[in-house]
């Protein structure tokens, strides 16, 4: 297994729309185990392949306290969105920034498992928020896209400054 580099906003590669996985093979399994290791290393509750510069529709999530319940979603697709809920969100691709986003409260979605089984789930709460956040990544969308342009612009300036500092130190 290996830890992958997580891209940070405003990296344009975060805007690329991911393509469906055609066949679940050893390459895909390796990607999912590297993604899980990267997510645990970064203390995230979810990670989309787009964030590690892989343009495939793959998501990993683990909401458990002990980090022992990995969920691997291949080609996840939302089929129903219902209600509204707001939650304070963060993102591994937008370091040290948290803000409130409104999303659907209940969703129905389906995905393929690594064993090539199709699963359909109806979910709510944090898992529903997380699945919407991750599928947005696969479509090149970030949670800060829901904020005002002014907030996003300020954040962009701040992160560009930090990135320059990082490059100097390294």
Please say which residue, 118 or 139, places its beta carbon nearer to ligand GNR: 139
Q: Of the candidates 58, 59, 72, 91, which one interacts with Ni ion according to CB under 5 A? A: 91
Find the part of the chain contacting Ni ion (CB under 5 A) among 1-9, 13-21, 69-77, 86-94.
86-94
CA distance 88 to 127: 13
37 is a catalytic site residue: no
Candidates 37, 65, 77, 134; catalytic one: 134
In the region spanning residues 47 to 76, those forming contacts with ligand GNR, defined by CB under 6 A, are: 47-48, 51
Residues that bind ligand GNR (CB under 6 A): 44-48, 51, 89-93, 129-130, 133-134, 137
Residues that bind Ni ion (CB under 5 A): 91
Any idea which residues carry the catalytic annotation?
A: 134
């Amino acid at each position: 297994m290996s830890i992958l580099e997580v891209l940070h906003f405003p990296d344009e590669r975060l805007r690329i729309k991911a393509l469906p996985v055609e066949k679940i093979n050893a390459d895909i399994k390796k990607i999912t185990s590297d993604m899980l290791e990267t997510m645990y290393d970064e203390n995230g509750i979810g990670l989309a392949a787009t964030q590690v510069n892989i343009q495939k529709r793959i998501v990993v999530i683990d909401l458990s306290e002990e980090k022992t319940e990995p969920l691997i979603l291949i080609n996840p697709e939302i089929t129903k969105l219902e209600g509204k809920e707001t939650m304070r969100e963060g993102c591994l691709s937008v370091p040290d920034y948290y803000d409130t986003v409104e999303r659907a409260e209940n969703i129905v979605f389906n995905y393929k498992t690594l064993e090539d089984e199709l699963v359909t789930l109806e979910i709510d709460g944090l898992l529903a928020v997380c699945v919407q956040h991750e599928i947005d990544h696969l479509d090149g969308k970030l949670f800060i896209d829901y904020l005002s342009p002014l907030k996003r612009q300020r954040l962009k300036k701040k992160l560009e400054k930090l990135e320059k500092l990082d490059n100097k130190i390294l």
